[in-house]
Amino acid sequence: MTTPTNAVSPDTEEPALSYEQARTELMEVVAALESGGASLAESMTLWERGETLAAVCQRWLDGAKARIDAAQPPEDRGSGPEPA
């Protein structure tokens, strides 16, 4: 089994990871899990790391959306498409 780069304890948050770094490592974790060669304990560690990385990615995406929303003029910030 290949260990993802920068693997650390799954409960350790790494706010210094860029979105791209977290996404790349998450893809490595998924590939390792899909290969099926890991023991149950290794699989659980990988899964926990994947959950942490997914949360890092989501925070980056949420932050990007907030910045886009904040940059739009108030009249463009509707609650979504107009009902038909």
> Is the pTM value of this prediction over 0.75?
no
- State how far the Cα of 45 lies from the Cα of 32, in Å rounded to an integer: 11
How many structural domains is the chain composed of?
1
Per-position pLDDT tens, the chain of length 84: 444 444 443 445 555 899 999 999 999 999 999 999 999 999 999 999 999 999 999 999 999 999 999 999 887 666 666 666
Query: Do 28 and 5 form a contact (C-beta atoms < 8 A)?
Result: yes
Domain that holds residue 49: 19-74
Question: How do residues 38-59 score in pLDDT, each as one tens digit?
Answer: 999 999 999 999 999 999 999 9
* Domain-located, residue 29: yes
* Domain-located, residue 66: yes
Task: Report residue 60: phi and psi, to 5°.
Answer: -60, -45
